Structure formats: C-alpha cells, structure tokens
C-alpha cells in the first residue's frame, strides 16, 4: 500500500483488528473518503438521515451505477449466472439499509464487493497479491479493493465469533460511516 494511504487506512482498520474495542471515529472515515476521492460527497451524505429523500435518491444512484458496472463487465459464459445473481443482490442490500440493520448491510455489501472484484478481475481477485495488483493499476482503486477486503475479513471473523463485529463502543453511526465509504466510491466509480 502506498505510504500516503497506510496511516489513514490503519486508523480505519487497525492492523491488529478491533479486539481492543476501539472504533474508528467519523473524522477517520472522512479522511479515508478523501483518500478515495469522494470526500465532499461523503461528508454531505454522512450528514443526512438514512431514510431521508435525498439519501434514498443517492441509494437509487448507487443501485443504478452498480447495475451498469455489472452489465458492462465481460465474463465467460460460465460466469453469466454469477453476474445475474450479483444484480439480484443490490435490492436486498438497499432493503437492509432502509430497515436500519447496518451490520447486516455491511455483510451484504462485502459479498457484493467480492463478487464485483471477481467480475472485474477474474481469478486474480482470489490471489494473495490482489491488493498489490490493484494498487499498481490505480492507487485509489487499490485502496477501495483493500477496504473491500477488510470488510470481508471483519465479516469472516464475526461469523467465526472470534471477535464481535460490534465492538463495545461502536454505534450505528460508525457502522453507517464505514458502509457509506464503499457506497460512495461505487456510486462515483
């Protein structure tokens, strides 16, 4: 990871994990959004209520852009079903967000990001050097895929019950801030 991103990234997702129970703060999330190139939009959206009309409009833009990204990917005939399945997952994510179950939405979003990485990069997305590969293509894009990998790691740990996803001082605002990072990036991709 390029040095200019390492400090910001490690404040959002500590290298040792969240076992200390120390949640990232909103300022850290804003710095991460700026590194992703979506800082202004992110700050505007972060100030909105999840069920506001403006946020609903943003989520519709997210779904439309995600659909376009999925449709524009070229895949082998054997992977067409995978592509269709991914398109079917976005409405479920939006419903989960509207219901206010943000930890579950993070899990659903991490699955979408993993599948989207596969559609974009094929089997390379499953290789150990995937993050390094994406950083070489474009630093901001690499940072986004790194973020997606961290979300997946958190969910895998949570599903094994080794650490709770919701550390003691995490609240819905922190969960929402972490999820909104990815939503903003993909909406503006």
Q: What is the pLDDT of residues 144-180, one digit of tens each?
A: 999 998 887 766 544 544 444 444 346 678 889 999 9
Question: For a pLDDT cut of 90, what percent of the chain falls above it?
Answer: 44
Q: Determine the pLDDT at residue 166.
A: 43
- Answer yes or no: are the C-beta atoms of 110 and 148 closer than 8 Å: yes
**Of the candidates 88, 95, 98, 93, which has an alpha carbon nearest to the alpha carbon of residue 108?**
93
Q: Determine the pLDDT at residue 168.
A: 38
- Per-residue pLDDT band at 4 (split at 50, 70, 90): confident
- Measured from the Cβ of residue 134, the count of other Cβ atoms closer than 10 Å reads 24
Give the angle 95-100-105 at the CA atoms, nearest 5°: 60
Domain ranges in the chain are: 40-187
Helix H segments across 20-79? 26-36, 39-46, 53-72
- Whole-prediction pTM value? 0.85
Helix (H) or strand (E) holding 87: helix 80-98
Q: What is the pLDDT of residues 17-59, one digit of tens each?
A: 555 556 667 888 999 999 999 999 999 999 999 989 999 999 9
Q: Determine the pLDDT at residue 22.
A: 60
């Amino acid at each position: 990871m390029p040095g200019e991103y390492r400090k910001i990234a490690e404040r959002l997702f500590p290298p040792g994990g969240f076992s200390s129970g120390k949640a990232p703060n909103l300022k850290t999330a804003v710095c991460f959004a700026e590194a992703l190139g979506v800082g202004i939009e992110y700050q505007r959206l972060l100030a909105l209520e999840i069920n506001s009309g403006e946020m609903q409009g943003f989520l519709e833009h997210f779904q439309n852009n995600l659909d376009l990204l999925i449709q524009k990917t070229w895949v082998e005939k054997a992977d067409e079903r995978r592509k269709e399945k991914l398109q079917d997952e976005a409405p479920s994510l939006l419903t989960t967000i509207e219901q206010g179950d943000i930890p579950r939405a993070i899990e659903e979003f991490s699955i979408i990001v993993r599948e989207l990485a596969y559609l974009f990069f094929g089997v390379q997305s499953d290789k150990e050097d995937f993050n390094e590969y994406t950083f070489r293509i474009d630093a901001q894009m690499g940072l986004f895929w790194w973020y997606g990998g961290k979300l997946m790691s958190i969910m895998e740990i949570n599903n094994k019950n080794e650490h709770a996803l919701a550390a003691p001082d995490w609240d819905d605002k922190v969960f929402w801030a972490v999820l909104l990072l990815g939503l903003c990036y993909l909406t503006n991709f």
